[in-house]
């Protein structure tokens, strides 16, 4: 299984994502100016400040040549994971519903947060148990998830709200404490916390983030024998 | 720029032909004698471009004219040193063919004028210094000083008085406190904005609040980078006929005169300083992120001969430094420089401090490849000149020669001044207002100290920084006395820490070497005794490294002082540098680079506390055993290790009580302190200690509270053995002490090498301290509430 990790000017966590993906499979970086996904089985849109986050976080990156290929790939059912800035890019590209607004505390905030798994059957969380708590760091200034009430209701019905901040953990003010959502088809997933920074006990504070990458591997390859 | 308040540098003052006058030179910060020397070197009056360039390179900021003689006394060589002072950053060998490049720099005056951009561009500047030598920046730390932020009990009582004078005083204080908070808020946001956006973690730092920093805050930023020893690049121009290529942001009018007008003079009142805002540069971390990746790829591909960043004094300084180090000359053409705005005069182009620019020397055959790589990273580039053998700096505007100067005159011939130190007879600094009553109980005192601005948790500040990007951060802020960064770029083992009770999970089957870094300086103690206070600051950094198991490799420093032309400031500076040299020699932690920031004085608040900020980098063999602050296991033995002799002199408690600074601190036995640091370091490395924390502000009681808070585990201790006076035992300060915990046998074994006083055990949900028959007790919840005081102020 091979992950492709996008690299925009201003990406910051792409190497971290690359190393995290390599714990469960192969991975390589994909340059923003290329349209070739180089045979990747899954795409990671990493964190950072693509194009300086100018105009609006993710608003310029969605027009990058590589995103045309990613949109086609997602349309064909390929797995796409967006982390932090990647989540913002996927919302801007309309691959995911909703939008990310400025944090309620109006500051860039870095904090280890506890998340609850609301949907453990999907392509990105099948290695997790239902209601399992994941400890994963978050670090962003624009992470307040918002969607219209009708959209939220539809997302709830379709099981698209995959991760929620546990009680008292929602520092950014996301609606319904939403931390991670998928598209209706379940093959595109975005979250504000950084699973790639929770893959090694020495540096991560937890290894819970690995479950996201492992879930993707299982989805692509089937369970390891 | 307001017409009523013309700025010190304006186009009108220096651009009007004919040749500028001596008055113009004075306005640019040169003295009359210096101007005459310039004329002598030039063989006549300098023209506008030449005068602008001399005035910058001969400024205090660039020429270190009041500090260079002192700096020459510092130890700069050692077995780990790869690059010493003089390059863009110093570097030490960290094994496996890798070096760690590091340096601290100040951006004090810009931050006092515009804290967000001042601090942001401070980070940007220090990061460029690191990647200019070919190292990838892996961490930022910051050292900040502001005036009192307010919020204490006694002041609030005052403010409630009916008396008109009290109300007026209270209002004045409120304004002062609001300014301190405005500056802190802006500086922290600026540092975060730059570091977070560029993908370099901010892993540590320190902040103090003291009256003397009220009008002249300090913003010092330190950066570390990792590079391959064989691939480091120097800044010396080389190869006559090679091309000089400028790449990065376009050049604009921002920051003109930053080095001379802003950095090399005292600040005036706040309104006048508002006029200096055009001299503050504006940063763009996205541009720098591209510049960083582009520079490292240029070096990786071996496409450039020399590299230099553009910082203070812009192109003037960069080009002249490159020529000087290479003992060559440079011809450059301002007409070929990509500009941000039309109609810039040649002198403006030469002195602009526009951010995010680099200058490199390229062999003619590689110019096209360099330009193509810049295009890949969407970075502007332009060939702007050539390396010559003339040893002259020649500036052209198209065909016209607009400036011609000997490189040596520009870079090396600025006169150096001897200081005239005079030990002050009278106290220099005002006694701080009391905020804690003399008869406060030990418990009240503990909680007041824990909530005092200099001790309270820095969480509201460091939470605004990304501390983990690049996946090296083994210890996050508040987890250990020093930041710990794994050296490996390989993925680390996955082992889940929550599956084991072992405090040192060993999921990996091999050691993971790591760097440790600390930055520190307690300016109040340096003010009390510039020599001893500076020794203490160096020892404190080394103690922080010892607590995580690291030995010092090298030191950087930022000497923040007042006006050196005044005898008492000259005395502070001289004594401080003497202490710095002695301590670094004793610890075998040579100075590999640094910075000097003088003229830090407010118009009414006077000079800042002398603040020699020390940054120290060390190495530990195995990050899996990196020490931590917090207690780990119930029942572990707690001890105080080292030749700790606490005293209230110049302590945090003395400040809260409104006591004046003492004249001098107790002398230090540096070797005894060093022995205790080595013992603690070795015990941490051996995995014998569960926790280690050095005793600093607030003394043993505060250190114990911090160990308990970091772990959520209480402790019961008895402190009678520490000192004869109750308050000295609890809150007295001094170098050489550590609070450690571990298995009883391991802790007692440490006593075979250094003084160890076993004081109690870990456990429960409160900190209980017994001494002289009294018991001081506070629950973890009470301690935590007091410790969050900054969150209330800055929330």
Query: What pLDDT digit, counting tens, does each position of B359-380 carry?
Result: 999 999 999 999 999 999 999 9
Q: Share the mean pLDDT of chain B.
A: 89
Instruction: Give long-range contacts, CB 8 A cutoff, 24+ apart: B702-706.
Output: B702/B446, B702/B449, B702/B450, B702/B455, B702/B652, B702/B731, B703/B737, B703/B739, B704/B638, B704/B739, B704/B767, B704/B769, B705/B446, B705/B450, B705/B767, B705/B778, B705/B783, B705/B787, B706/B629
Please, what's the b/e burial string for B46-77 (b: 16 or more CB within 10 A of its CB; e: otherwise)?
bbbbbbbbbbbbbbbbbbbbbbeebbeebbbe
Give the B window 543-562 contacts with A, CB below 8 Å: none
A2 to chain B, any CB pair closer than 8 A? The answer is no
- Residue of chain A whose Cα is closest to the Cα of B495: A201
Q: For this structure, is B61 an active site residue?
A: yes
∠ CA A84-A90-A92, rounded to 5°: 105
- Give the integer Cα–Cα distance in Å for B50 and B30: 13
Helices (H), B43-75: 48-57, 60-63, 68-71
Q: Domains in chain A, please, with CATH?
A: 2-224 (3.40.50.880)
Spell out which residues of chain A touch residue B493, defining contact as CB-CB under 8 Å. 200-202
Q: What is the pLDDT of residue B743?
A: 97
Residues B640/B557, Cβ–Cβ less than 8 Å: no
pLDDT at B4 over 70: no
pLDDT at A35 over 60: yes
Please, what's the b/e burial string for A151-169 (b: 16 or more CB within 10 A of its CB; e: otherwise)?
ebeebeeeebbbbbbbeeb
The token pair that represents B641 in the structure block? 């290790």
B773 to chain A, any CB pair closer than 8 A? The answer is no
Query: What pLDDT digit, counting tens, does each position of B286-328 carry?
Result: 999 999 999 999 999 999 999 999 988 899 999 999 999 999 9
Q: For this structure, is B693 an active site residue?
A: no
Which residue is listed with tokens 């660039």? B62
Q: What is the pLDDT of residue B260?
A: 54
Which residue is listed with tokens 């100067």? B405
Spell out which residues of chain B touch residue A200, defining contact as CB-CB under 8 Å. 471, 491-494
- Residue of chain B whose Cα is closest to the Cα of A33: B376
Which residue is listed with tokens 């295009």? B375
Residues B586/B736, Cβ–Cβ less than 8 Å: no
DSSP string, A3-31: EEEEE-TTB-SHHHHHHHHTTTSEEEEEE
Q: What is the pLDDT of residue B123?
A: 94
A163–chain B nearest CA distance, Å: 21
Q: How confident is the model at residue A223 (pLDDT cuts 50, 70, 90)?
A: low
Q: Does B1 or B664 have the greater pLDDT score?
A: B664
Q: What is the pLDDT of residue B599?
A: 93
Q: What is the pLDDT of residue A13?
A: 96
Helices (H), B335-473: 346-351, 367-376, 407-412, 442-450, 459-462
DSSP string, B627-667: --SS--STT-EEEEES----B-TT-HHHHHTTPPPPSS---
| DSSP structure class, residue B508 | S
- Give the integer Cα–Cα distance in Å for B522 and B524: 6
- For β-strands B551-560 and B591-597, DSSP reports them as parallel
Sequence length of chain A is 225
Beta-sheet strand order (sheet of B514-520): B473-475, B483-486, B514-520, B611-620, B551-560, B591-597
Query: Quick check: helix, strand or coil at residue A130?
Result: coil
Catalytic residue selected from B5, B66, B80, B107: B107
A39 to chain B, any CB pair closer than 8 A? The answer is no
Residues A91/A99, Cβ–Cβ less than 8 Å: yes
Q: Which residues pair with B52 in a beta bridge?
A: none
pLDDT at B154 over 50: no
The token pair that represents A103 in the structure block? 């944090």
Q: What is the pLDDT of residue B10?
A: 39
- Give the integer Cα–Cα distance in Å for B93 and B70: 26
The token pair that represents B116 in the structure block? 């967000």
Share of chain B above pLDDT 90, in %: 76
Spell out which residues of chain B touch residue A141, defining contact as CB-CB under 8 Å. 196
- Give the integer Cα–Cα distance in Å for B625 and B615: 23
The average pLDDT across B571-579 equals 98
* Inter-chain residue contact A206 with B512, CB threshold 8 Å: no
Please, what's the b/e burial string for A91-123 (b: 16 or more CB within 10 A of its CB; e: otherwise)?
bbbebbbbbbbebeeebbbbebbbbbbbbbebb
Q: What is the pLDDT of residue B20?
A: 87
pLDDT at B275 over 90: no
A16–chain B nearest CA distance, Å: 6
Query: Quick check: helix, strand or coil at residue B184?
Result: helix
Sequence length of chain B is 795
- Residue of chain B whose Cα is closest to the Cα of A135: B498
B40 to chain A, any CB pair closer than 8 A? The answer is no
- Give the integer Cα–Cα distance in Å for B486 and B507: 15
Q: How confident is the model at residue B493 (pLDDT cuts 50, 70, 90)?
A: low
Which of B715, B367, B377, B666 has its CA nearest to residue B529? B666
Query: What pLDDT digit, counting tens, does each position of B633-666 carry?
Result: 999 999 999 999 999 999 999 999 999 999 999 9
Residues B268/B603, Cβ–Cβ less than 8 Å: yes
Query: Quick check: helix, strand or coil at residue B692?
Result: strand
Q: What is the pLDDT of residue B160?
A: 46
The average pLDDT across B27-34 equals 92
Q: How confident is the model at residue B150 (pLDDT cuts 50, 70, 90)?
A: confident
Residues B783/B455, Cβ–Cβ less than 8 Å: no
- Give the integer Cα–Cα distance in Å for B274 and B276: 5
A168–chain B nearest CA distance, Å: 16
Q: What is the pLDDT of residue B181?
A: 85
A46 to chain B, any CB pair closer than 8 A? The answer is no
Residues B734/B674, Cβ–Cβ less than 8 Å: no
Query: What pLDDT digit, counting tens, does each position of B187-242 carry?
Result: 999 999 999 999 999 999 999 999 999 989 999 999 999 999 998 988 899 999 99
Query: What pLDDT digit, counting tens, does each position of B577-630 carry?
Result: 999 999 999 999 999 999 999 999 988 889 999 999 999 999 999 999 999 999
B321 phi and psi, to 5 degrees?
-65, -45
Class of residue B459 by CB neighbours under 10 A (exposed 0-12, middle 13-18, buried 19+): middle
**Is the whole model's pTM more than 0.95, yes or no?**
no
Lowest mean pLDDT among A44-48, B265-269, B414-418, B765-769: B265-269
B168–chain A nearest CA distance, Å: 33
Q: How confident is the model at residue B267 (pLDDT cuts 50, 70, 90)?
A: low
Spell out which residues of chain B touch residue A206, defining contact as CB-CB under 8 Å. 496-498
pLDDT at B342 over 80: yes
Query: What pLDDT digit, counting tens, does each position of A59-103 carry?
Result: 999 999 999 999 999 999 999 999 999 999 999 999 999 999 999
pLDDT at B72 over 70: yes
Q: Does B181 or B102 have the greater pLDDT score?
A: B102
Q: What is the pLDDT of residue B16?
A: 41
Query: What pLDDT digit, counting tens, does each position of A99-153 carry?
Result: 999 999 999 999 999 999 999 989 999 999 999 999 999 999 999 999 999 999 9
Spell out which residues of chain A touch residue B472, defining contact as CB-CB under 8 Å. 203
- R_g (Cα) of chain A, nearest Å: 16
- Give the integer Cα–Cα distance in Å for B610 and A46: 44
* Inter-chain residue contact A110 with B467, CB threshold 8 Å: yes
A55 to chain B, any CB pair closer than 8 A? The answer is no
State the count of interchain CB pairs (< 8 A) between A and B. 121
- Give the integer Cα–Cα distance in Å for A163 and A160: 9
Which of B551, B554, B550, B558 has its CA nearest to residue B526? B558
Close Cβ partners of A76 (under 8 Å, ≥ 6 residues apart): none
């Amino acid at each position: 299984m091979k992950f492709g990790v996008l690299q925009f000017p201003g990406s910051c966590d792409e190497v971290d994502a690359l190393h995290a993906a390599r714990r469960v499979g192969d991975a390589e970086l994909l340059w923003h100016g290329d349209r070739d996904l180089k045979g990747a089985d899954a795409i990671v849109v990493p964190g950072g400040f693509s194009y300086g986050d100018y105009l609006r976080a993710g608003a310029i990156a969605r027009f990058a040549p590589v995103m045309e290929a990613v949109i086609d790939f997602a349309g064909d059912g390929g797995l796409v994971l967006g982390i932090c800035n990647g989540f913002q890019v996927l919302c801007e590209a309309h691959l995911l519903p909703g939008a990310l607004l400025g944090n309620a505390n109006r500051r860039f905030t870095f904090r280890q947060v506890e998340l609850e798994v609301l949907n453990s059957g999907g392509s990105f969380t099948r290695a997790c148990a239902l209601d399992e708590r994941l400890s994963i760091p978050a670090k962003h200034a624009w992470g307040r998830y918002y969607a219209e009430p009708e959209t939220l209701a539809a997302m709830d019905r379709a099981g698209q709200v995959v991760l929620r901040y546990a009680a008292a953990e929602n520092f950014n003010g996301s609606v319904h404490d939403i931390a991670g959502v998928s598209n209706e088809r379940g093959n595109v997933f975005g979250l504000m916390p950084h699973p790639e920074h929770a893959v090694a006990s020495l540096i991560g504070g937890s290894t819970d983030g690995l479950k996201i990458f492992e879930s993707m591997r299982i989805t692509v390859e089937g369970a390891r024998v | 720029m307001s017409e009523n308040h013309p700025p010190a540098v304006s186009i009108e003052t220096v651009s009007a032909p004919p040749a500028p006058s001596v008055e113009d030179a004075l306005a640019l910060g040169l003295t009359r004698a210096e101007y005459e020397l310039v004329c002598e070197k030039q063989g006549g009056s300098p023209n506008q471009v030449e005068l602008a360039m001399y005035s910058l390179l001969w400024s205090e900021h660039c020429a270190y004219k009041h500090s260079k003689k002192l700096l020459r006394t510092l130890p700069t060589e050692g077995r780990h040193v790869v690059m010493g002072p003089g390059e863009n950053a110093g570097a030490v060998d960290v094994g496996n063919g890798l070096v760690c490049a590091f340096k601290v720099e100040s951006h004090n005056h810009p931050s006092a004028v515009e804290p967000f951009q001042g601090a942001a561009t401070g980070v940007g500047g220090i990061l460029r210094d690191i990647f200019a030598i070919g190292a990838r920046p892996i961490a930022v730390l910051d050292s900040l000083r502001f005036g009192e932020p307010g919020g204490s009990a006694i002041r609030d009582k005052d403010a409630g008085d009916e008396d008109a004078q009290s109300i007026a005083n209270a209002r004045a204080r409120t304004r002062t406190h609001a300014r301190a908070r405005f500056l802190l808020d802006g500086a922290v946001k600026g540092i975060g904005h730059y570091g977070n956006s560029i993908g370099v973690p901010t892993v540590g730092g320190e902040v103090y609040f003291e009256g003397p920093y009220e009008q002249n805050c300090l913003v010092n930023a330190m950066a570390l980078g990792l590079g391959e020893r064989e691939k480091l690049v120097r800044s010396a121009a080389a190869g006559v006929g090679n091309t000089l290529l400028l790449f990065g942001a376009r050049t604009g009018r921002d920051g003109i005169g930053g080095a001379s007008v802003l950095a090399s003079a005292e600040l005036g009142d706040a309104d006048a300083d508002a006029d200096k805002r055009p001299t503050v540069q504006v940063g763009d971390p996205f541009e720098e992120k591209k510049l960083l990746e582009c520079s490292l790829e240029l070096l990786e591909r071996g496409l450039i001969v020399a590299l230099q960043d553009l910082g203070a004094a812009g192109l003037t300084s960069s080009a002249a430094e490159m020529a000087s180090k290479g003992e060559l000359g440079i011809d450059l053409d301002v007409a070929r420089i990509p500009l941000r705005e039309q109609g810039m005069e040649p002198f403006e182009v030469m002195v602009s401090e526009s951010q995010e620019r680099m200058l490199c020397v390229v062999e003619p055959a590689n110019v096209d490849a360099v330009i193509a790589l810049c295009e890949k990273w969407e970075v502007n580039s332009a060939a702007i000149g050539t390396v010559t053998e003339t040893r002259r700096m020649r500036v052209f505007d198209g065909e016209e020669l607009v400036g011609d100067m000997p490189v040596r005159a520009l870079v090396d011939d600025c006169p150096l001044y001897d200081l005239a130190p005079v030990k002050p007879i009278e106290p220099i600094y005002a006694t701080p207002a009391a905020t804690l009553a003399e008869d406060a109980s030990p418990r009240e005192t503990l909680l007041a100290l824990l909530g005092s601005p200099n001790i309270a948790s820095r969480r509201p500040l460091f939470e605004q920084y990304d501390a983990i990007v690049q996946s090296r951060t083994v210890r996050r802020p508040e987890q250990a006395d020093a930041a710990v960064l794994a050296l490996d770029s390989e993925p680390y083992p996955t082992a889940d820490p929550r599956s084991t009770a072992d405090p040192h999970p060993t999921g990996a089957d091999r050691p993971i070497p790591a760097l440790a870094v600390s930055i520190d300086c307690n300016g109040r103690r340096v003010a009390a005794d510039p020599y001893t206070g500076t020794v203490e600051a160096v020892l404190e950094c080394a103690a922080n490294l010892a607590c995580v198991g690291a030995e010092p490799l090298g030191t950087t420093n930022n000497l923040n002082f007042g006006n050196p032309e005044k005898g008492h400031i000259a005395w502070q500076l001289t004594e401080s540098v003497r202490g710095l040299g002695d301590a670094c020699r004793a610890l075998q932690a040579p100075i590999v680079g640094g910075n000097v920031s003088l003229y830090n004085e407010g118009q009414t608040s006077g000079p800042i506390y002398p603040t020699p900020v020390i940054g120290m980098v060390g190495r530990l063999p195995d990050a899996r055993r990196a020490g931590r602050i917090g207690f780990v296991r119930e029942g572990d033995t707690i001890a105080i290790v080292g030749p700790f002799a606490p005293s209230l002199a110049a302590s945090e408690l003395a400040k809260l009580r409104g006591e004046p600074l003492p004249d001098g601190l107790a002398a230090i036995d540096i070797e005894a302190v060093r022995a205790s640091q080595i013992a603690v370091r070795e015990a941490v490395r051996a995995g014998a200690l569960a926790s280690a924390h050095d005793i600093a502000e607030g003394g043993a009681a505060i250190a114990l509270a911090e160990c308990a808070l970091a772990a959520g585990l209480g402790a019961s201790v008895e402190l009678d053995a520490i000192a004869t006076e109750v308050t000295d035992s609890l809150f007295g300060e001094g170098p050489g002490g550590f609070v450690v915990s571990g298995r009883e046998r391991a802790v007692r074994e440490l006593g075979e090498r250094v003084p160890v006083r076993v004081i109690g055990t870990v456990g429960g949900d409160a900190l209980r301290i017994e001494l002289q028959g009294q018991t001081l007790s506070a629950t973890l919840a009470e301690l935590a509430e007091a410790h969050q005081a900054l969150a209330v102020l800055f929330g």
